[in-house]
């Protein structure tokens, strides 16, 4: 309820900026990780700023507005939770993704209670982070449409419906999640591990014994091609899968 209320209130200002570049602030005290995240976000065409500690982050938050903030809650000198509280005061519309190395439920609950939108446990895949950022932007409707498409295949993320060409196809929960994961990362190679972690989370070791991922992808391909569309998924030998660059 609260989110939709905020959305109504701020949508007039935010919706004007469909074509404005999404600004993301990443707060993380490990510099190498910070750099890796920054590089990935820039490749995805986001404007990315970084802060390596609470003070820098706090200054930036007071001076600029960001669409999304990625915050490590285990910052050295101050808890990231304090930073989240601060952002929520200054600009409640900023989407917040917490990253944490602590797999602690309490931290997660506290973070989400403070108004964080998502929670990622380290180590995570860059593909997963991108997917979460995009999902967050879609949910907050900053980028307008809830529809994600690739070629003539489109996914309506509100209704969870997939249309290939003109035909609506029905996918299982995992198949839907995998396809959306691909569509959120059209330019990236998705490793089997990252797909497994995406659909099963902590149960990703299921993938050790069987090629479930392969079966899921085979089914997705079958459903798409039988709807009259070309197969969009390409095997990257030994590593995983990606969406075809030359598609349509």
222 is a site residue for another protein (CB under 8 A): no
Among residues 74, 93, 157, 184, the one that binds another protein under rule CB under 8 A: 74
Query: Binding string, 130-159, against another protein, x = CB under 8 A?
Result: ------------------------------
CB 217 within 8 Å of CB 178: yes
113 is a site residue for another protein (CB under 8 A): no
174 is a site residue for another protein (CB under 8 A): yes
188 is a site residue for another protein (CB under 8 A): yes
- Cβ-Cβ contacts under 8 Å for 69 (sequence gap 6 or more): 24, 25, 26, 27, 61, 87, 94, 95, 96, 97
79 is a site residue for another protein (CB under 8 A): no
Shortest gap between Cβ of 145 and another protein (angstroms)? 26
Assign 3-class secondary structure to the chain.
CHHHHHHHHHHHHHHCCCCCCCEEEEECCCHHHHHHHHHHHHHCCCEEEEECCHHHHHHHHHHCCCCEEEEECCCCCCCHHHHHHHHHHHCCCCEEEEEECCCCHHHHHHHHHCCCCEEEECCCCHHHHHHHHHHHHHHCCCCCCCEEEECCEEEECCCCEEEECCEEECCCHHHHHHHHHHHHCCCCCEEHHHHHHHHHHHHHHHHHCCCHHHHHHHHHHHHHHHCCCCCCEEEECCCEEEECCCCC
210 is a site residue for another protein (CB under 8 A): yes
Among residues 15, 167, 172, 225, the one that binds another protein under rule CB under 8 A: 172
Measure the CA–CA gap between 192 and 184, rounded to whole angstroms. 16
Shortest gap between Cβ of 90 and another protein (angstroms)? 28
Among residues 121, 141, 154, 163, the one that binds another protein under rule CB under 8 A: 121
Report the site for another protein in 20-49 (rule: CB under 8 A). 30, 32-33, 36-37, 39-40
Shortest gap between Cβ of 210 and another protein (angstroms)? 7
50 is a site residue for another protein (CB under 8 A): no
Q: Which CB, 10 or 212, lies closer to another protein?
A: 212
Among residues 12, 13, 89, 238, the one that binds another protein under rule CB under 8 A: 238
Please give the residue ranges that form the binding site for another protein (CB under 8 A): 30, 32-33, 36-37, 39-40, 74, 101-103, 105, 121-127, 172-174, 187-189, 191, 193-194, 197, 202-206, 208-210, 212, 215-216, 237-239, 245
């Amino acid at each position: 309820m609260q989110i939709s209320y905020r959305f109504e209130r701020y949508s007039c200002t935010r919706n004007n900026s469909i074509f404005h570049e999404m600004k993301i602030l990443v707060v993380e005290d490990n510099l190498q990780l910070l750099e890796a995240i920054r590089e990935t976000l820039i490749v995805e065409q986001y404007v990315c700023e970084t802060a390596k500690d609470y003070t820098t982050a706090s200054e930036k938050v007071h001076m600029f507005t960001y669409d999304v903030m990625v915050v490590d809650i285990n910052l050295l000198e101050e808890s990231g939770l304090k930073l989240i509280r601060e952002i929520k005061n200054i600009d409640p519309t900023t989407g917040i993704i917490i990253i944490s190395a602590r797999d602690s439920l309490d931290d997660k609950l506290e973070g989400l209670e403070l108004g964080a939108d998502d929670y990622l446990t380290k180590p995570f895949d860059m593909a997963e982070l991108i997917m979460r950022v995009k999902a967050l932007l879609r949910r907050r409707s900053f980028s307008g449409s809830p529809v994600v498409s690739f070629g003539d295949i489109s996914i309506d993320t509100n209704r969870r419906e997939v249309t290939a060409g003109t035909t609506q196809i029905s996918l299982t929960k995992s198949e839907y999640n995998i396809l959306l994961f691909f569509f959120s990362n059209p330019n990236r190679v998705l490793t089997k591990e990252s797909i497994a972690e995406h659909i099963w989370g902590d149960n990703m070791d299921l993938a050790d014994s069987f090629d479930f991922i392969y079966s899921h992808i085979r089914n997705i391909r079958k459903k798409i091609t039988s709807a009259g569309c070309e197969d969009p998924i390409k095997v990257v030998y030994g590593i995983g899968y990606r969406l075809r660059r030359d598609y349509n």
